[in-house]
Amino acid sequence: MKFSAKEGFGYSLLKIKVTSVFVENQERALEFYTKVLGFEKKQNVPVGKFRWLTVVSPEEPDGTQLLLEPNDNPAAKAYQEAIYKQGIPAALFFVEDVREEYKRLKQLGVSFTMEPTKVTGSTIAILNDTCGNLTQLVQLDTMR
């Protein structure tokens, strides 16, 4: 039996529409996430000296948006630097073929800290987004 949030709770459950990564430079981040990774710019709204700047997958233009959020706040910068130093990705993106995506991105000059590696249930690779983050590419075993 399929569970229905409305029937079970009388209201719908929360949905993820926007998530974020802290970036050192919004313009450089936009360039990398669109021209290199292939996302599309969704929103670009001035907010003081920064922008509400989001990207989406071209395959899901109404899907979850990734906010390229300035790390101007000292706590944000410290968090970003700490997880980077520990090798923890700030974001994970799913791909159909991680090895092919790895080759494509290497040809574009992207730096990887982990080549495609088989782990339980998936194959992963980790790249440097040039904006202060590590990003993990994931190919689930069930995707092939």
Burial of 61 (0-12, 13-18, 19+ CB in 10 A): exposed
Label the pairing between strands 65-70 and 18-23. parallel
- Provide the sign of the torsion angle of the four alpha carbons 71, 76, 78, 81, taken in this order: negative
CATH architecture of 14-143: Roll (3.10)
Render each residue's pLDDT in the chain as its tens digit; 144 residues.
Answer: 455 555 666 777 899 999 999 999 999 999 999 999 999 999 999 999 999 999 999 999 999 999 999 999 999 999 999 999 999 999 999 999 999 999 999 999 999 999 999 999 999 999 999 999 999 999 999 865
**Is-above-0.85 flag for pTM?**
yes
Burial of 38 (0-12, 13-18, 19+ CB in 10 A): middle
